[in-house]
Amino acid sequence: MSIIDYSDASFPVRDNITEAHNRYWKRLASPGNWLTAAERIGVAKEIRQARSCELCSKRNAALSPYQLEGQHDSVSDLSDVMVEVIHRVITDSARLTKAWFDGIMQQDLKIEQYIEIIGTLVHVFSIDEFCRGIGEPVRELPDPLPGEPSHYRPANIVEDGDGSWVPMLSAVMQPGPESDIWEGKIEGNVIRALSLVPDEVRSLKDLLIVHYLDDEEFMDLEKSPQGTLSRIQTEVVAARVSAFNGCFY
Amino acid sequence: MVLRVSIESSGESIDLDGLTDPACTEIKGIPHSEVLLKFSNAFMAYDPEALALARDQLAKEISPEAMVDTAAIASNFQRMVRIADSTGIPVESMGDDMDAMVEELNEQLGINKYVSAANSKKR
């Protein structure tokens, strides 16, 4: 099992970041709910490949990215539709459309698999991007463990997604196996978005706390999340990065 | 939006107009905003040399720990946008007053013109 170790990094990485990244790496190496461990590692490999994919590069430069057909430069055994999702979300997410999503869903991909791909993608990408930010190489991916996906699907799913493209758990959590995720409050859509695969929300929250702030503290505007930057300084970075990404949400 | 509320709750008066403009290099009234924006710009430009310079400057001007925290925040927001974009989630209502403030800020900063607004506008 590959272990993430930042002790030799040029800058001092908090222990809780290293610990959270290792918890995720361990999960990445294990079978998920809808993907095998090998498929999850395949997602991670494609994330790292997407930025050098020629088709993605052409689409990125095009005014009409959906007019360009072609094959992605893939480095895994994942299906074409999975590779299309990963490369497109990594390289051109601001221009995703409902028509694109509907087209993906008409291919051989379950919505639960889609959510687990997105969860895996965003978690691995945030860890890779953290490494880039502190000037360290991306960490070696773990070897996949054997086993089959559990095919777990939670109850209390709002199938129409309350206006989103994807089904998700109710904003007000019902008692049951998912009540650890956001008990006792109304949860925001960006957290709910991955809740068709609840473990993706658990990983999101685990990483969110160490990268940004605890979801429970979001509206505590006096709090300095990690102690070195004020909340205002934190939000300056968040806002500028989000602006580059064209993030309306 | 959080930044605007954060500033108002602190009783400060800060001009946020340049926040979404990469050409804006400093926001008066926010300590060390210049190095934070410089790091964010270099990070999002995927420019290794500029990022190395910004990293060192931020570590020197604030602290090495703050540089790591800035990288953690920046990488977090590489994640959150992709969740929103790939799931087509609408922006939730936060009540009439807050919604009006957000709409005003979105207009002021040009956020309503983002392509992803078509997917995330309240439905």
pLDDT tens per residue, range B41-95: 999 999 999 999 999 999 999 999 999 999 999 999 999 999 999 999 987 766 7
Give A64's pLDDT tier (boundaries 50, 70, 90). confident
Residues B102 and B123 in one domain: yes
Task: Please give the full DSSP string across chain B, using - where no structure is assigned.
Answer: -HHHHHHHHHT-----GGGG-TT----TTSTTHHHHHHHHHHHHTT-HHHHHHHHHHHHHHT-HHHHHHHHHHHHHHHHHHHHHHHHTPPPPP--HHHHHHHHHHHHHHTGGGSTTHHHHS--
Residues B73 and B104 in one domain: no
Q: Quick check: is B6 in a domain?
A: no
Residue A157 has a pLDDT of 93
ipTM of this complex prediction, to 2 decimal places: 0.94
Phi, psi (deg, nearest 5) at residue A157: -85, 135
Residue B63 has a pLDDT of 97
Residue A67 has a pLDDT of 87
Give B113's pLDDT tier (boundaries 50, 70, 90). low
Q: Quick check: is B8 in a domain?
A: no
Give A24's pLDDT tier (boundaries 50, 70, 90). very high
pLDDT tens-digit map of A65-76: 888 999 999 999
| Six token digits for residue A212 | 């940004």
| Residue whose token pair is 């995330």 | B120
**CA–CA separation, B16 vs B3, rounded Å?**
9
SS3 A158: strand
Residues B51 and B107 in one domain: no
**CA–CA separation, B119 vs B43, rounded Å?**
26
Residues B81 and B123 in one domain: no
The pLDDT mean for chain A works out to 92
Mark yes or no for CB contact A118/B82 under 8 Å.
Answer: yes
Residue A187 has a pLDDT of 85
Residue B12 has a pLDDT of 60
Residues B38 and B81 in one domain: yes
Give B24's pLDDT tier (boundaries 50, 70, 90). confident
Quote the domain boundaries for residue B117. 90-123
Give A174's pLDDT tier (boundaries 50, 70, 90). confident
Per-window interface: A 91-130 vs B, CB < 8 A: 93-98, 101, 115, 118, 121-123, 125-130
Task: Report the percentage of chain A scoring pLDDT > 70.
Answer: 94
Judging contacts by C-beta atoms under 8 Å, the chain A residues touching residue B73 are 211-212, 229, 234, 237-238, 241
| Six token digits for residue A36 | 């095998």
Question: What pTM was computed for the model?
Answer: 0.90
Residues B28 and B64 in one domain: yes
Q: Quick check: is B14 in a domain?
A: no
Mark yes or no for CB contact B81/A93 under 8 Å.
Answer: yes
- Check pLDDT > 90 for residue B99: no
Domain count for chain B: 2
- Across the A:B interface, residue pairs with CB atoms under 8 Å apart total 264
Tell which of B33, B77, B114, B122 to mutate to test the A interface (max A CBs under 10 Å): B77
Domain residue ranges of chain A, discontinuous segments joined by +: 15-218
Judging contacts by C-beta atoms under 8 Å, the chain B residues touching residue A232 are 3, 6-7, 10, 12, 14, 30
Q: Quick check: is B7 in a domain?
A: no
Q: Quick check: is B29 in a domain?
A: yes
Give A245's pLDDT tier (boundaries 50, 70, 90). confident
Residue B13 has a pLDDT of 59
Q: Quick check: is B123 in a domain?
A: yes
Tell which of B47, B49, B79 to mutate to test the A interface (max A CBs under 10 Å): B79
Judging contacts by C-beta atoms under 8 Å, the chain B residues touching residue A81 are none
Are the beta carbons of A192 and A156 closer than 8 angstroms? no
Mark yes or no for CB contact B88/A165 under 8 Å.
Answer: yes
Per-window interface: B 99-118 vs A, CB < 8 A: 106, 109, 111-112, 114-118
Q: What is the mean pLDDT of residues A11-25?
A: 97
Residues B41 and B76 in one domain: yes
Residues B32 and B66 in one domain: yes
Residues B45 and B58 in one domain: yes
Q: What is the mean pLDDT of residues A195-217?
A: 91
Give A44's pLDDT tier (boundaries 50, 70, 90). very high
Residues B83 and B96 in one domain: no
Residues B38 and B49 in one domain: yes
